[in-house]
Structure 1
Amino acid sequence: MLRSNYLALMTAGFMLGCGDESVSNHTPAVAETHLVSVKQVSDIPLEMLKTFAQLAGQEQFTPLVKYSVKTYTLVYETEYNGKSIKASGSIYVPQGLTQKAPLISLQHGTTFLKSEAPSVSSSPTGMEYFASAGYIAIMPDFIGYGESAAIFHPYYDQALAAGTVIDMIKSSREFLEKENIAFNDQLFLAGYSEGGFVTLAAAKEIENNAAHNMKVTAVAAGAGGYDLTHMLNSITTSTSYTYPGYLAFVLMAYNNTYQWNKPLEYFFQDKYARALATYMNGNYGGSFINSKLTTHVPSLLNAEFYTRLKSPSGELDLKRALTENSIRGWNTKIPTRLYHGTKDEIIPYQNSEATLESFRAAGSTSVSLTAIPSGTHGSSFFPMLKEFVPWFETMRK
């Protein structure tokens, strides 16, 4: 779930091949208006990108870094709880392209710090290298960050996650068309941890709703906690959870998004409720928040709430929300690869196994699961990246 995994793109982005440089004659039509504003943030010369590659010890990949890159912050309209709001994200555009470029939208992992949103952070995201290799790269901030930072992030909300990504893609296409930047009809989606969940949510909505006028070329999703009821079961049948901040994030997000408006003491022991009220505000990182909590679940949660949570007839509103937001497999035709470390201590590997089975039960034959042997949640993103990027390249126009 850690956004910092995406810094691995700083080196792994060099694995992008050159692709087939034949030019498609089709530029997708853009009908809807979502774009609010665009601001250029940087103009990164090709030589600087090559230098960064050499400093990272990846000299063998520097020939694949082909284009200088301009980065922009996009502000666009999306929907939150029935109202139109402004959201934001970053777009990375290769300069001097001689062919129409595919789009790739990469969804970032969990961030507790609002300052780590792609359009806000001063640190590179690694998407610069996708763009330098000839993709138009997109990274949404998500609701609750960037332009919409005043909102508590609707963590693991399937509909809002999908809408945020889709509207970012639509606004990006509007911007590209207005600027006469040539792009083709290919759309790749990828993400890890929360980003994996968001990626599958967006792919499902795009494929099942023709009104979006999009087609997904391929999907790579890693360790996404897609089956939230499975996650609940794994937490209530064990007394320990390695990263309690994530559990707190889900409960607080649902309490806010669904407007239950329960006091934090309803969910957590008083000591930890006070800590969360103080620190879960976007100004503190996940590790710091974890240090203020406990990994012992019965001690973290309010005793009565914990008892109801373990009872089949207890906390039905929460359980319904988890069921509604779980991503069940559908009969997808999109080539989809799931990735998961077999020693993931935060989201069990079995969660992806259950998700794969739900795809198969729905009749899908285009979905596979790649196990990353002995991979933890923090160590599995880079192996996933090394595998899915060349796979995307085999389908690239």
Structure 2
Amino acid sequence: MNALQISIKDIKANRLSALLNLLLIAFGIAILTVLLLAGKQINDKLEKNAKDIDLVVGAKGSPLQLVLSSIYYIDFPTGNIPLKDAQQLAQNPLVKRAVPLALGDNYSGFRIVGTDTSFIHLYALTLQQGTFWSKDFEVSVGASVADKQHLLVGSKFYGAHGLTGNTDIHRTHAYVVTGILKPQGNVVDNLVLTNVASVWGMHEQAESPKKGPRPGEPEPFENGEKEITTLLIQYRSPMSVVLFPRMVNQSTNMQAASPAMESARLFSLIGVGVDTLQWFAVLIMAISGISVFISLYNSLKDRRYDLAIMRTMGASRFTLFSIIVLQGLLLTLIGSVIGLLAGHAALEIIGHYQQADQARLSGKLTDAAEGYLILTGLIIGLAAALIPAVQAYRTDIASTLSKG
């Protein structure tokens, strides 16, 4: 019987103690896994959704709220801005591209976004079926919308006023699905895209739809006292970073918000809670290490006579050392693996019950950094087993046997 088999039998002989150690280790690793994966997924989603968007311009209010509502679609807009003012900003020489957004309606919780074909180029959208919208009340829907609402090309549905809920349904006009987008891996998967005129017409109860621009052509702003919600801005040059936001904030009745700055501020706001949970998990891991140490130490005191007998039968000092070390490593390895699986399962459950599809988490995704969690568990096991293993190594055969 080798050292590994003996270690396994020793663990089985102390089931309750081993179970307590496994639970402590698994609980700590599970918390760290959830925090690691959730932080990674949220950061990736923030970067994907804000990619190539340098600035958001909208009504004055909270800059963070403006960014959340216009890029991540998880908050209410700060208000509307006059179309003529938005048009002037779009024509500013510091601006490379200005994408208008008109928000205010939803379909079964998925936001209906009035925009133009520049939105297609901004996110490099491609179609899975059908074509992009070309007339009023035609829509192209994200992959998740089509899947969850069972929409096909040619399907019709009614939008509802507000960004959530279906209490105030616009039954004057039905939207017609002309295209289904390929999965983008960002917020667009959860959007219903149409032209700005459709959003205006839905609220103005326009009677006859009119033909819009062909896909790929810019959609001109209309004259009149129209309003949109926000503009997504791409800068023309590095000089725009300094000049354009200051110009908007000081010379207009609108505000400019940087997605990068507001995302960093959002992380700083939630960072305190995340740090607290991380330290809580580290504390649990430390307690689990102490628990493993106590368990092995007590086990060693009870088994000194058995170890001495093994020495007389030919077992080397290193064999006794290995038995104790392997017990610590096995306990922490099994506990770490259980913790990883539990962390993934917990994150999948959290994602399943999330209300916001735009920031949905998944336990099916993995991260290379999870290997460090396993390594951390093994280091804790080795550290906890080291002192008992050294004592086993130094076991004096004669004195131990004489004491019985």
TM-score band by shorter chain is under 0.3
Which has more radius of gyration? 2
TM-score by length of 1: 0.23
TM-score by length of 2: 0.23
Pick the structure with more helix per residue. 2
